[in-house]
Chains A and B, each alone.
Chain A
Amino acid sequence: MSAGAERVAQAGTVLEFDRVDLSFDVKVLDQVSFRVEPGETRVILGAAGSGKSVLLKAAIGLLRVDAGRVVLMGQDITRLEEKDLVAVRANVGVLFQEGGLFDSLTVGDNVAYPLENQQVRGAVPAEEVQRRVTEALRFVELEQTMDQYPAELSGGMRRRVGIARAVVTEPPLVLYDSPTAGLDPITANTIMALIAKERDAKGAASIIVTHRYQDGQIMADFRYNSERGGLIPAAADPSSAPRTIFMVMREGRIVFEGDKASLEASRDAYVRNFVRR
């Protein structure tokens, strides 16, 4: 068990928001409270500008909250200094909206970056880095792009490299900021299958910000089939089902929180916008 996973096991909660406020010129997070348990999947839906991406950034201390508490891996990060935050963030993988890949580094170097730069990890030997990078790229089926630059890849491939970089350290929590935005439906489903695969193969908790209801549906209704690859309906084996919780945000507030069934049963007009049958 990694040090991060151990800490989670002790703390019990991976991420907790307690009445969090955050504003720039206008309020972007308004009294936001929720808890994410280990292994849980949380799908955050909401219109553009409803505060979804801001919430992810606040979760790892990239943005400072004005009021309330953010507890990450059992540690209150609300007032933590940047240099101490680095150690806590090492337990979290992040996929940024456009991938956030360093365009001056090759794909291989991008994926190796967290292993080589997170000092809390200590020096990882070069062969070990190489092995884990290859493994992470194989995970997203992009081993052959190792020496290419991100600009040479398609949007969907860049997103997949971003996932490889987010999971290469095997963190107990992975944040995905709009993993399918701007992708065609086929590529989008490939990406969601990878996210489900990461969840089911490694048991990491995931927070997925999206505006596509199907993304949440895939997470709630499908499991990764480790024997034959690909996704299978979860109904076949309900006991294996990790919790998938939906949250709907509107103008910085959480207006809905619950599982898929109660989301689909919701009568709220705004919430219903995000549910397609």
Chain B
Amino acid sequence: MSEFFKALVSEWQDFWFLAGRAFANIFRSPHYWDDVALQMEAIGVGSLPIVILTGFFSGFVLAMQMSRALNTYGATGQVGPIVMITLVRELGPVLTALLVAGRNASGIASELGSMKVSEQIDAMRALGTDPIQKLVTPRLIATCVMLPQLTIVADFVGMVGGFAISYFSLRMTASQYWTPAYQILEFNDFVQGLLKPFIFAIVISLVGCFYGMKTSGGTQGVGRATTQAVVVASVWVFVLTAFITRIFVNL
């Protein structure tokens, strides 16, 4: 039992150590901007199709479900604002983060894990490069830049999905849907809608890198690291969204 807690504390400590070094490296040269750009492409552009698809259908389904409930009160006109609030505050950031966790935390963990087990990380150190500077920091920066942007795309496409239902099925006009939806948004919504993906980005990239860098035990170990990275990153997305929402609801 005590061994288990010891391992847990030691892992927690290692994670913060990695996080600290990764952040400190942002302000330290050398900077590997080529790697940052490559990662931005892999994480941002690469995730775009799936984020658009998922965003559209989440708005689409949300509008369908809500219209049925709102119909009971004769308030189908409120479907725009409801879809908007739900997407911007919660669903947009969380769904996008989960997709990126599934796609990129796993990708990062397996890439770094393979490098670890084939001694490429040791080689990097032996040849004079700090692997955290070269591998972790670029992924951290790239995810922090791309995830908020992907979330904005998901929010917008989700709204379009909601509009499709409102227009074709509820027979609303464009201004009936978009005007109240736009008016309901407050500054507070923007802040939490963009703060969340930023924090999720830190967690997703660092968790992916952490499990990748501590991989051991050959190909099997790479598989294990990948799974752990996705599970842990996803759980943290849910836990953190609950915390952040709790803070903002009271503001």
Q: How many inter-chain residue pairs (CB < 8 Å) link A and B?
A: 51
- B71 contacts chain A at the CB level, 8 A cutoff: no
Query: Do the beta carbons of B122 and A86 come within 8 Å of each other?
Result: no
A-B contact sample (19 more), CB < 8 A, given A57-B122, A82-B130, A86-B128: A60-B126, A62-B122, A89-B126, A90-B128, A94-B127, A96-B122, A96-B123, A100-B118, A100-B119, A100-B122, A102-B120, A102-B124, A113-B127, A114-B127, A117-B128, A118-B127, A118-B128, A120-B128, A165-B127
- A103 contacts chain B at the CB level, 8 A cutoff: yes
- A98 contacts chain B at the CB level, 8 A cutoff: yes
CA distance A100 to B130 in the complex (A): 16
Q: Give the interface of B toward A (CB within 8 A).
A: 30, 115, 118-120, 122-130
Q: Is the interface of A mostly helix, strand, loop or mixed?
A: mixed
- The distance from the CB of A122 to the nearest CB of chain B, in whole angstroms, is 12
CA distance A102 to B124 in the complex (A): 9
Q: Which residue of B lies closest to A53 (CB)?
A: B119
- The distance from the CB of A277 to the nearest CB of chain B, in whole angstroms, is 34
Residues of B within 8 A of A114 (CB): 127-128
Can you list 12 A-B contacts (CB < 8 A)?
Answer: A60-B126, A82-B125, A86-B128, A90-B128, A94-B126, A96-B119, A98-B118, A100-B120, A101-B123, A102-B115, A102-B124, A117-B128
- A13 contacts chain B at the CB level, 8 A cutoff: no
Q: Give the interface of A toward B (CB within 8 A).
A: 57, 60, 62, 82-83, 86, 89-90, 92, 94, 96-98, 100-103, 113-114, 117-120, 165
CA distance A258 to B30 in the complex (A): 45
- The distance from the CB of B86 to the nearest CB of chain A, in whole angstroms, is 41
- The distance from the CB of A56 to the nearest CB of chain B, in whole angstroms, is 10
Query: Do the beta carbons of B120 and A117 come within 8 Å of each other?
Result: no
Residues of B within 8 A of A118 (CB): 127-128
Residue of B122, B126, B129 contacting most chain A CB atoms (<10 Å)? B126
Residues of B within 8 A of A90 (CB): 128
Residues of B within 8 A of A82 (CB): 125, 130
- The distance from the CB of A242 to the nearest CB of chain B, in whole angstroms, is 24
CA distance A240 to B124 in the complex (A): 35
CA distance A94 to B124 in the complex (A): 11
Query: Do the beta carbons of B129 and A117 come within 8 Å of each other?
Result: yes
Q: Which residue of B lies closest to A94 (CB)?
A: B126
Residues of A within 8 A of B124 (CB): 102
Q: Which residue of A lies closest to B21 (CB)?
A: A82
- The distance from the CB of A18 to the nearest CB of chain B, in whole angstroms, is 22
Given A100-B119, A103-B120, residue A62 in contact with residue B127 (CB < 8 A): no
Query: Do the beta carbons of A119 and B123 come within 8 Å of each other?
Result: no
- The distance from the CB of B65 to the nearest CB of chain A, in whole angstroms, is 45
- The distance from the CB of A90 to the nearest CB of chain B, in whole angstroms, is 6
Query: Do the beta carbons of B128 and A94 come within 8 Å of each other?
Result: no
CA distance A86 to B30 in the complex (A): 14
Residues of B within 8 A of A102 (CB): 115, 120, 123-124
Residues of A within 8 A of B118 (CB): 98, 100, 103
